Structure formats: structure tokens, C-alpha cells
Amino acid sequence: GLSSLDVDAYLDLCPMRVHGYNDAAARALTSFKALVPGTPNTLTNARLTNPAYKLAGGGFVMTPSDIALFGAAMIDAPSAKITAAERALLFTPIARNTNPPLGLGWRVDADAKGRARWHHAGSQEGGRASLVVYPDLRLSIAFASNVMTVPGDVLRPSADLADAFA
């Protein structure tokens, strides 16, 4: 049911696709321009990159609405797309010496108010996305930007939105 999910065929034209940009922080990570004195602190076009080498880690495109639907499908509910056993496999920390602990592809912790959350975020040149699931609130929050480093803290905006629904 994720109608926007597709492989990021970077040379194909995609209807409604936005262009990616880099700000000064992203340029410092990805561009020689950051080394040139006097480079203005403004947005620049992101380079065209081929994400095929990391299909599961950034090689797909999807709208934030569909990302949120994907997260909602993880929550224990009649409409859940996974079983309780699969949920336990995904969201039980297997790497506990990391901060936050890691489940199978998910960070598993609690926010500042003690609410359980499962989350994952990522970025690549010209974009960033985040998914935070609050299982006890039955809430899935997703957002994306077309700047690699925006927002810097991906969890605070989600916690603020969770406050509105709690």
C-alpha cells in the first residue's frame, strides 16, 4: 500500500521529485567548495549521486506520508503488517552497548519523557529522512527535507509532535 515507494533510479525523471541542496554543513562533508575560503554560507545544488550501491540504506524514494504508513504498520494493531514475533525480532535491542541500543535496523529507546520509541534516520547528499514510531501512543511520525543536514536533531521535532498527540 506504499504507492510512492520506488527504487531511486537517479537518472530517471520522477514526477513531483524535489531537487536536493547542500548548506554549509553539508558542503563541509561532501564538497571541495567547503575548503575554498570565502565560500558563501548559502544553499548550493547537491551533486547528482547514484545510490544504487546502498539500495536498502538510501536507494529508495518514498513520500513522508508513505514513510509514516510504513511505521504505522509496525505498531501492534488489527491492521499491523507484522506479527508479534516479528515485532519482537525487530525491536528487541541486540546491540546494547550503543547509544541508543539497536534492534534489527531500528534504534530502540525512550524520549526525554520516558515514552518508548523506535526510530531510524538517514541522510545523503541533497536529502534527509526520519521515521519515529511511538508504539504505546500508536503514533508514527515521518519527515523529510531536501537538505542533507536539516534538521540537525531529528528526534526533537518528533518528540514535539508526539506531545501534541499524547
Going residue by residue through the chain, which has 166 residues, state the pLDDT in tens, using 9 for 90 and above: 899 888 888 788 887 788 888 777 666 655 555 555 555 567 788 888 888 788 877 788 889 999 999 999 999 998 888 999 999 999 999 988 888 999 998 999 999 999 999 999 988 888 889 999 999 999 999 999 888 877 778 899 999 999 998 8
Q: Is 21 left (phi over 0), alpha (psi -120 to 50) or beta?
A: beta
| C-alpha closest to that of 58 among 8, 23, 114 | 8
User: The whole model's pTM is what?
Assistant: 0.85
**DSSP per residue, 85-111:** HHHHHHHS-SBTTSSS-B-SSSEEEE-
Name the grid cell of 9: 533510479
| C-alpha closest to that of 77 among 87, 67, 62, 89 | 87
Per-residue pLDDT tens for 66-110? 999 999 999 999 888 899 999 999 999 998 888 899 999 899 999
